[in-house]
Amino acid sequence: MTTLSIGTAVPDFEAAATGGKTLTLSDFLGKNVVIYFYPKDNTPGCTQEGIAFRDHIDEFNAFNTVILGVSRDSVKVHEGFKCKQAFPFDLLSDQDETLCNLFGVIKMKNMYGKQVRGIERSTFLIDEQGVLRHEWRGVKVKNHIAEVLQELKILTQ
């Protein structure tokens, strides 16, 4: 389970990202960061969620906010997914589950009648100083972007 709690600083982390980059949380000090965890590239719900973030990127930019998507897929798979969907944000590869464990998003899930370990769709809002300000767990894609944007509006007032 996660050791992170609302109002505490998120430890700096490093992850392989699309575009041949290695990104750290500290790269984004001075910006709000929305990190969303999703189960798998190129699946219907995950594609829909990414498209929703993509289609509202101007609103996130207006709130000085960076979007980062995270799954256990490889950077190579992420590159194809990002290109195919024209995502204007980076996707982070978490094959060793370091970020998943930090944020506590790995859960036992039922898939075709079997128990499997997987990522629970979750989103985290980190402020300009690197402090966790809000979290959404067990996210349903519909209306999620509006909820995140509402929290950003409150945060930046």
pTM: 0.95
Whether the predicted pLDDT of 2 surpasses 70: no
* Average pLDDT of span 118-147: 96
Please choose, from the candidates 28, 53, 33, the residue with its C-alpha nearest in 3D space to the C-alpha of residue 147. 53
Q: How far apart are CA 136 and CA 157, in angstroms?
A: 21
Active-site residues, by number, are 46
Task: Please report the DSSP string for 51-80 in residue order.
Answer: HHHHHTHHHHHHTTEEEEEEESS-HHHHHH
Whether the predicted pLDDT of 1 surpasses 80: no
Kindly list the structural domains of the chain, giving each domain's residue range(s) and its CATH number in brackets, ordered by start.
30-156 (3.40.30.10)
CA distance to 37, 46, 88, 89, 137, per residue, from 120 (Å):
7, 11, 23, 21, 7
* Average pLDDT of span 144-150: 97
